[in-house]
Structure 1
């Protein structure tokens, strides 16, 4: 059974297109990631799927239930952990779970059994009687994830689950998410702007940009779609002239300028062997190379190749504007056919 089916789902706010005719599916038991910068439309999409926000157009089902016509059934089928903490810190861990269980109408025996199972699953049995205010950030996040699983949902939504956690706690949280996906058998939809998080956790990843999906596939397939190593060059001279030198070179798969105008990223069939060729091309147009870095592609370079910017650049632009409204104006929407043409991998290709 398909856990989530989305068909042409759209959300606009006035002239702003926040989510633009998205179509994709999440398979039963899959750990599916939505990777993109702040302001890309990820949370807007999640809010529609959990029935907190009504779509402007399109349809979607969660566990077979229509998000418009069967809202109660959808909500009973899912669990959600929001980006912002939502625990009562004056209550104990057990009291927080008990309150949530009562809201779902669990009887006393079922409630006690599920609470015991959740504390065992998230590894917080020793802290169950302690006030949540005394928990560490990682412990609070684990309890929230456990609370989302308390009523045994078919689908669990995790909206930026490790934001604000230190590196060690973030990795520990990844382990719990993977464990719960395997042991509870629940389908998980995770939104994130952390490259490593998407690569480590997700069976498949949808790269989200400007309210649209640029590509969907496994992390490995997305990286392989770039066709080779990425060479980053800091150019001391006319980058536009240098990039024109890269056109029609059979060993150049792709190239793009980074957020800094003097940085050019070139995807080639063999990075170490092509450095000399790149330096020669730069010398021919009097654009000396100040520095060179060769690395295997990751999802950041995939995002850059598809959108022309890094996730960090996009997030910084949103923060600088002081506006978290996602999307773009209807008049500036990119043509869908052109986007699909240049996208390396899409759901339709599978």
Structure 2
């Protein structure tokens, strides 16, 4: 396993000397690369959550817990959740920025948008507007590659400061191995815009396209030269089995452009994979920090690894972003992991890029 490749030349718009991390160092910021926006459409956001998804118990809990739809209400402005997220980032002691994620609609093979079959939707326009107002949030846009305007939408979002593209294939319906995606991949590679792509089993959403969860379907964008961040590190199944990476694909030295984030892994079901990754030090140079907020880290499942004193200290941390990071730090993940997103995210001009540059 090699360390990270030599740093790429930085775009002239980025002054890396400007930011000061909350951890006290000049230069690299600690960036959580995996934070979700969500909403019911209140206030004209354009967000949607399909009723059949909103009825699922884990989704109902998140909607209540974060004030998005308490008691099933759909009339509250979605900016309430944004304000809570921005305040959480501002109050964090260990995290400097987060990548907030949009979520595109489902499209079919013909490039037709299927609103009636779309479970969850956060439009890019809403995300970009939110990030304009809150510089601590960096825009991770979502663009379905089957869209007839996919390349035009990518150009538009990059001009507005997009730092990454996010996909959830088993819900949105794109196949990363489909060669029709090659023009989109070529442009991502040219822009050095990372693709954050869900891998492994999906638990919050009912997956419709199960074969698309297989991380091996990411070989095509890797071959084209895209920087791929495999969300959730392929769990369940991380490092072993059909869905996992192991020595076959995941974090392999054969693919220096392949990374994996640790988002949503500090929960029952994925926790054992997080603990396993902590012990696999040869994989650490390919791991990126992400939380999956509003999904919050649970510390009790890691009592054996942490010990009583460290567990008690973690339970006292109220900020969910700090708690997630400190848990992973307590499991043995190195400091460089938490700064890696800063070096991977696109350096583009615009509101999002300016936020990344100037801290």
Flag the structure with higher strand content. Answer: 1
Which TM-score tier does this pair reach, normalised by the shorter chain? 0.3 to 0.5
The higher radius of gyration belongs to 1
TM-score for the superposition, normalised by structure 2: 0.34
TM-score for the superposition, normalised by structure 1: 0.34
